[in-house]
Amino acid sequence: MLIVGAGKVGWNLARELDDRGHELLVVESSQGRYATVEEELQHAVQYGDGSELWVLERAGIQRADMVIAVTGDDEDNILISQVAREKYGVERVIARCNNPRNLQHFDLLGIKPVVSATDLILRLIEHEVPKYGPLHLLDLPQESLEIIELDVADDSVAAGSQVQELGLPDGSLVISILRDGSGFVPTGDSVIEAGDEVLLVLDPGLEPRVTPCFTSPAERAA
């Protein structure tokens, strides 16, 4: 596999993958950085601008089964991914998005999967910082699914009801109930309690219809 960019992400990725016995080559365009990384990875590093086609070819992109574009520049990552897939027929391409605002451009040009550290950290913070209301844990646009987390309010419809009594719309499913620090997968007759956290998987757009079951009427009025 070919890793383009030996910054913090590329280098550490290369280390991990190397430890696991993967055959890999890293391409780095800054001479200083190249020298540092070369001390450790030796032959597994090549010096050159990974958005130049001859550099990619010298690095053996035609034979690579995977290309990982993790430079610090989103335009470079998009271009590298695009030529890897469309010119060299690389089957698996993973790109890093440095600025979440640029995700739309990756998306437009059909580059996926895209890893955005900023975005991941934002989601983690969202998950770790307690707040009320639904929490979007995961959007799976490819699969047209969303996973959300809701806190069950004391005076909500859900508190004290069985899952099957909630009348949740088709296309929604309670996949897990978290209570007192542990979770379980409910059945139709599992009773939801106030203070539970529930995880639901939904068809996109159902969230506004599902949320009211779990929130208190007062909150809804507000």
Partner 1 sequence: MLSDGHEVSVVDETPEAIALLERGQDRSWEELGGSFTVGTALEIDALLEAGIERADAFVASTDGDNTNLIIAQVAQRRFHVPKVVVRVLDPARASWYREQGLSTICPTQTAIELLTDAVREAARQHERVG
Binding site for partner 1 (CB under 8 A): 51-54, 73-76, 78-79, 83, 86-87, 101-102, 104-105, 108-109
Residue 170's SS3 state is: coil
Looking at the Cβ atoms of 49 and 207, the one nearer to partner 1 is 49
Shortest separation between residue 89's beta carbon and partner 1, angstroms: 13
User: Which is nearer to partner 1, 102 or 162 (by Cβ)?
Assistant: 102
Q: Strands 182-184 and 172-179: what pairing?
A: antiparallel
Q: From the CB of 74, what's the least distance to partner 1, in Å?
A: 7
* Residue 78 vs 200, nearer CB to partner 1: 78
**Least distance in Å: CB of 100 to partner 1?**
12
Q: Provide the minimum distance between the beta carbon of 189 and partner 1 in the complex, in angstroms, as a whole number.
A: 50
Nearest approach, Cβ of residue 59 and partner 1 (Å): 15
Judge residue 77's burial from the number of C-beta atoms within 10 Å of its C-beta, 0-12 exposed, 13-18 middle, 19 or more buried.
buried
- Taking Cα atoms as reference points, which of 30, 92, 95, 83 lies closest to residue 54? 83
Q: How many C-beta neighbours within 10 Å does residue 144 have?
A: 12
Q: Nearer Cβ to partner 1, position 40 or 52?
A: 52
Check if the beta carbon of residue 150 is closer than 8 Å to that of residue 214: yes
Q: What's the count of helices (H) and strands (E) in the chain, helices before strands?
A: 8, 11
Provide, rounded to whole angstroms, the least separation between the CB of residue 21 and partner 1. Answer: 33
Instruction: State which residue, 119 or 203, has the beta carbon closest to partner 1.
Output: 119
Give 87 or 209: the residue with its C-beta nearer to partner 1. 87
User: Peptide bond preceding 100: is omega within 30 degrees of 0, i.e. cis?
Assistant: no
Q: List helix spans (H) across the chain.
A: 8-19, 31-41, 53-58, 74-86, 103-108, 117-128, 207-210, 217-221
